[in-house]
Amino acid sequence: MYLKHYHLNQKPFQINTDPKFLWFGEKHREAFATLKYGVLGNKGFVLLTGVVGTGKTTLINALLKVLGNEIVVATVRDPGLKRLDFFNYVSHAFGMEKEFTNKSSFLIAFSDFLNKCYYEGRRALLIIDEAQRLNQDLLEEIRLLSNIERDDEKLLNILFVGQTEFYKTLAAPQNSAIRQRISAYYNIPPLTINETTEYIEHRLKVAGATKNIFKKNCINEIYNFAKGYPRLINIICDRALLTGYVKEVKVISSAIVKECANELSMIAHSRTTSLAATEKTAAEGTQSQEEPLPPKKHFPKILLAFGSVCLFLGAIWLYSLSSLPRLPLIDNNSAHFWTSISPVPEESSRAVPTTPPALATAQENSRSAVHPAPPAIKTGDGIATSSPPPALLIKKLRVHFDNNAIVPERQYLPSLNTLAEGLMQHRDAKVVIRGYTDNIGSSYYNKKLAQFRADSIKNFLIGRGVEEERITAIGLGGSDPLPATEAEHQTAIARSVEIEVITDNKIKQ
């Protein structure tokens, strides 16, 4: 409709995944490199996550274009299937041309298929899109499929692509085995305001634009609406071009973008309200078809009395449990930390629970009996305890990791919670997170592992409400390990992350 008006060859902001408009910012290039490393390196499980509209599908399509004929790919677009339906879908996607009525026959045929690919010099890649829709039973079946391998090589690579909610599924204790097999992963963050500018200019240029259609002051308004998510950028830019066409202007101003942002926000609010009203009406209609509950006076009084007694005894039992001193957690299984970094409601993320003095004393005594006191935290005034007042802004904090772990030891959670609380009260402060490893193994692996460690702390702080643009996460690997103290070995101290809070807006890499 507006192509001739702006002298364009095609619409620049369609929300489909046209490869001609493919644009890679720094973060997308990192994600793409991680995916290639995981898939071409035959690493088994690879994970790509991101919220809706960050460009996951675009990345996968780009990956498929660079994979050679030696990679046989099958994509499951919707994994919300029953087990046997999933097996038959995988069979069809890989071109096995068989339909199965039981699990055993599928496993036999699938094993034969994978071995045939191996002898032909090919490898199989199974892509599970929308992975957050996987149920626990099907996730376990997928893990078991990865057990089909040879002594010298894996026969099946599995790429999970999903929204960040998938982390909650992986955090479940029963999924510790599959977490340990994920050798490469990347979470796509939204674009920065500079990347938003480059993204818009790239798409306009591909569409045939020979001059600037959006004024420079429009970018701030676009970014305020889209928050750096490519899909929302496409939506508001397309709307702005249409509005400019209706108004017969050749250049889009910030006023037009504001107008479009308000319209799109009202549409979204209207849809949400309508959906809520529809659900309410449906619920009321369902209730009207049900038989009414019997009057309360017909309910046996003896059951009411019995229920009251049970509630009273249950309250006493819970109180007695809460009054017992508890030993600290000494199990460093990553499931505990994964659970702790999952997103929480904003209200609950701002407060650090306090402990009664008597219980705190009991806990401190039991803690010292199990392992040494948690490491002290460096503050602006010197050395503080591991639990400073919430208003205190920690200036430096260092947390340690087990060998090859990508989440820190459990004992650092109180300190990280305190750090997040301080950052929420000091909005001008920024954070630099530097990840380190030991010098064992290849430098490439160590740098990736260090980046994963830094990202895990970054995700923790974001989950506690700290804005992502205030956090810089850097993976330094084993090239610049932190110095060991007298009581710590060099290799152990190097497996750590250093968190530095910057208040003068000067961040040193």
Asked if residue 480 and residue 432 are part of one domain, the reply reads: yes
pLDDT over 70 (residue 354): no
Residue 379 has a pLDDT of: 41
- Domain membership of residue 324 (yes or no) is no
Residues 43 and 178 occupy one common structural domain: yes
Best CA proximity match to 491, nearest among 501, 503, 481: 481
Single residue among 167, 187, 207 that ends a domain in this structure? 187
User: Would you give the distance in Å from CA 142 to the centre of its chain?
Assistant: 20
Number of neighbouring beta carbons within 10 Å of residue 75? 16
Q: Are residues 165 and 204 in the same domain?
A: no
The enclosing domain of 84 has a CATH number of: 3.40.50.300
- In tens, the pLDDT along 87-100 reads 999 999 999 988 89
Residue 283 lies in a domain: no
- Is residue 508 assigned to a domain? no
Segments forming the whole domain that contains residue 385: 372-502
Tell whether 12 and 38 lie within a shared domain.
no
Instruction: Show the DSSP H helices in 227-253 as ranges.
Output: 230-247
CATH number at residue 394: 3.30.1330.60
Residues with Cβ within 8 Å of residue 94, at least 6 apart in sequence: 72, 74, 113, 124
For residue 363, what pLDDT band results from cuts at 50, 70 and 90?
A: very low
Query: Do residues 34 and 104 share a domain?
Result: yes
Is 11 part of a structural domain of the chain? yes
47 membership: H or E segment, kind and range: strand 45-49
Report how far residue 501's alpha carbon sits from residue 11's, in angstroms, rounded to the nearest whole number: 44
This prediction has a pTM of 0.52
53 with 176, same domain: the answer is yes
Whether residue 366 lies inside any domain: the answer is no
Is residue 99 located within the same domain as residue 226? no
- First-to-last alpha carbon distance for the chain, in angstroms, is 48
Does 503 score more than 60 pLDDT? yes
Q: How far apart are CA 177 and CA 181, in angstroms?
A: 7
Q: Are residues 31 and 171 in the same domain?
A: yes
Helix or strand or coil: residue 71?
Answer: strand
Please indicate, yes or no, whether residues 7 and 30 belong to a single structural domain of this protein. Answer: no
Helix (H) or strand (E) holding 90: helix 83-93
- Look at the chain and report how many structural domains it folds into: 3
In a domain, 332, yes or no: no
- In angstroms, rounded to a whole number, what is the distance separating the alpha carbons of residues 372 and 369? 8
Residues 155 and 216 in one domain: no
User: Rounded CA gap, 437 and 187, in Å?
Assistant: 21
CA distance 462 to 416: 12
3-state helix, strand, coil in the chain (%, to 5): 50, 15, 35
C-beta atoms surrounding 503 within 10 Å = 12
DSSP state of 183: E
Asked, for residue 491, whether it belongs to a domain, the answer is yes
User: pLDDT tens for residues 270-299?
Assistant: 444 444 454 454 444 434 333 343 444 444
Decide which of 147, 164, 187 is a domain's last residue.
187
CATH code, 257 = 1.10.8
Structure confidence by residue, pLDDT tens digits, 178-225:
888 888 888 888 889 999 999 999 999 999 988 889 998 899 999 999
User: Alpha carbon 238 to chain centroid distance?
Assistant: 28
- CA distances (Å), 56 to each of 63, 167, 481, in order? 11, 16, 34
- What percentage of the chain carries pLDDT values higher than 90? 23
Question: Do the domain assignments include residue 129?
Answer: yes
Give the relative orientation of helices 334-341 and 443-463 as an angle to the nearest 10 degrees: 50
Q: Specify whether 144 is located in the same domain as 195.
A: no
Amino acid type, 9: N
Domain boundary among 166, 187, 208: 187
Q: Are residues 166 and 212 in the same domain?
A: no
